[in-house]
Structure 1
């Protein structure tokens, strides 16, 4: 049974070949003579082309009624995809001409069944080819390489050990977008303030500005903070020496040393600086302005201006042991 060929007109045909007549069962009387066959072919020629009519004749002569019944029982799977081209053709279920992939005029070899979208700017201009570069996302290895190059550059600049620079505690304090008003209009810019420390008495504060984005500004701030690393004086490696009353612009800071286990009961920005410097016990209060940038800068300035215990003892005419015992209960 062939789809598009057998019973297309609802009327079967028969053909007499080599003295053998193959007839089909049909709802109409069987065609018994050659004249009836010819008249029927003339009738079908009104609806079908000569090639299709030849296929119908070949199909009717090759297929037996039993085969037709078997193919009908098998449903759509029993139908062939193509009609036979000659009498010697067998009942193919998958003709090569139907199964081969479609090749379009603008399609390269081994690119079936779908043609790629042409990369031309205009369909009638084949010389204008648009070439797109594949954007590759930065892999983790690339980021590690950038980080290593950044650390190596800082090590060469400051003379510090590369491993020490890579282990520094880094914390951004202020990140904001600002606008510079010029005659050309408002020019956007990015600002970052970063604190760096080793949690053992070394602290640095750095600022970074960039028009390329916050990431670039943070990189500059980190670079400047490592360059500005400064040692600070601590009492018992945990708190400040005595009380500090410091003023920085409109910010008034009052800081007080605390006993062991007291913790950090201070402003949030001062807390981050204490974490980087290695100060574990401190009490403090910020009066008047609480601008994060000025508070951070004022606190770092107050820490670097502390006097050591040796200086205090020599200024008061006391021994270092007596000063620890009398003033600090040590």
Structure 2
């Protein structure tokens, strides 16, 4: 059986160098003919501190097993986001369900100005300076998905230049 990790703790014996954060654990009840069955659903994020991020969900009869399943799911679903000096390249908006997240790059020394689940995403991802604002639903699952949606929408100057068939210098002039 998996070992239980306190909220926000780094997993021990983790040799792949990934940072792990548990965002939420919910108790879920299923009503059946014989009564109620309890289980737990966990939401976690995993990152390498250099722009790679993954989100995972796990469900089991016990909390530690649910968290372990969520961590494994997050490892399998990692995506790479290009960062620029510890922040993002430009303003970006992401949505999922009724959650809407706005992010803006910030100068060095600003820190991570984000609440709840978004902060955990940026901490494991390696973002050191960013300003965010969330509107609508504050459901942790929706907020994490909206944050990842926004990060996937962000592009670098070289990607924009390649799409337009121009050089980076032509884009900025």
TM-score (normalised: structure 2): 0.85
Alignment partner for residue 34 of structure 2, among 165, 179, 184? Answer: 184
Cα distance in structure 2, aligned partners of 1:258 and 1:302? 16
Asked if structure 2 preserves the Cα contact closer than 8 Å seen for 1:204 and 1:230, the reply is: yes
TM-score (norm 1): 0.46
Q: Which has the larger radius of gyration?
A: 1
Instruction: Verify the 8 A CA contact 2:90 2:154 in the aligned structure 1.
Output: no
- Aligned match for 1:231, one of 80, 100, 104: 80
Q: 2:154 aligns with which of 306, 310, 330?
A: 306
Question: Residue 103 of structure 2 contacts residue 131 of structure 2 at CA under 8 Å; is this kept in 1?
Answer: yes
SS at match of 1:222: helix
> What's 1:173 paired with?
23
Name segments (4+ residues, structure 1) moved above 6 Å. Answer: none
Structure 1 residue aligned with 2:89:
241
Which ranges of structure 1 fall in alignment gaps of 5 or more residues?
A: 1-137, 139-146, 152-162
1:296 alignment partner in structure 2: 144
Higher strand share: 2
Q: Which residue of 1 aligns with 2:134?
A: 286
Q: What secondary structure sits across from 1:209 in the alignment? A: strand
1:198 to 33, 38, 48: 48
RMSD: 2.1
Question: Pairwise mapping of residues 141-156 of structure 1 onto structure 2 (< 5 A)?
Answer: none
Deviation at 1:234, TM superposition (A): 1.4
Would the aligned equivalents of 1:190 and 1:217 in 2 still touch at CA under 8 Å? yes
CA–CA separation in structure 1 for the residues paired with 2:155 and 2:132: 18
How many angstroms apart in 2 are the aligned matches of 1:177 and 1:195? 19
Q: Which residue of 2 aligns with 1:264?
A: 112
- Residue deviations 1:48-97 (CA, integer Å, cap 9, x gap): xxxxxxxxxxxxxxxxxxxxxxxxxxxxxxxxxxxxxxxxxxxxxxxxxx
